[in-house]
Structure 1
Amino acid sequence: MKLRAEIDAKQVRIVALDLPTSWNLAAPADEFTSRMFSAVNNMMLDVLAAVARKDYEDRRRRQSEGAARAKAAGLYKGRPANTSRNAAITAMLRDGRTWSQIMSATGCSRTLLAKLTREQRDPSASQSAMS
Structure 2
Amino acid sequence: MKLRVFIMLVRAYLRASTDEQDANRAKGALKAFATEHGLKIAGFYAENESGASLKRPELFRLLADCEPGDVLLTEQVDRLSRLNAADWEMLKAEIANRQIRVIALDLPTSWAMARPDVNAFTERMFSAVNAMLLDMLAAISRKDYEDRRRRQREGIQKAKSAGAYKGRPVDEARNGAIAKMLEGGQSWSTIQKAAKCSRSTIARIAAQEKEAGRHESSRGGLK
Q: TM-score of the superposition, structure 1-length normalised?
A: 0.56
SS in 2 for 1:14: strand
Question: Which position in structure 2 is the counterpart of 1:72?
Answer: 161
Question: Offset at 1:16?
Answer: 2.9
Equivalent of 1:13, from 101, 108, 123? 101
State the AA in 1 paired with 2:111: W
The structure in which a higher percent of residues are helix is: 1
User: Higher strand share goes to which structure?
Assistant: 2
Gaps of 5+ in 1: 80-101, 109-131
Q: Following the alignment from structure 2 to structure 1, what is the Cα–Cα distance between the partners of residues 159 and 109?
A: 46
> Using CA pairs below 8 Å that are at least 6 residues apart, which structure has the higher relative contact order?
2
- Poorly superposed stretches of 4+, deviation over 3 Å: none
**Structure ID, larger Rg:** 1
Specify the alignment match of 1:89 in structure 2: none
Q: Give the alignment partner of residue 134 of structure 2, picking from 45, 60, 66.
A: 45
Whole-angstrom distance in 2 between the partners of 1:7 and 1:105: 40
Note closer, same or farther for the CA distance 1:21–1:105 as it changes in structure 2 (3 Å cut): closer
Aligned residues: 86
Amino acid corresponding to residue 129 of structure 2 in structure 1? V
TM superposition shift of 1:103: 7.6
- Write the mapping of 1:1-131 to structure 2, written as runs, cut at 5 A: 1-27=89-115, 28-76=117-165, 104-106=210-212
CA RMSD in angstroms, aligned pairs only: 2.6
Tell me which moved more, 43-52 or 17-26.
Answer: 17-26
Q: CA shift at 1:105, angstroms?
A: 4.5
SS at match of 2:99: coil
Give the partner amino acid of 1:8: A
Identity of aligned residues (%): 60
* Residue matched to 2:180: none
Deviations 1:58-116 (A, max 9, x none): 1110010001111111212558xxxxxxxxxxxxxxxxxxxxxx9834169xxxxxxxx
Structure 2 SS opposite 1:75: coil
Superposition TM-score, scaled by structure 2 size: 0.34
Q: What amino acid does structure 2 have at the position aligned with 1:14? A: V
Which amino acid letter does the alignment assign opposite residue 104 of structure 1? K
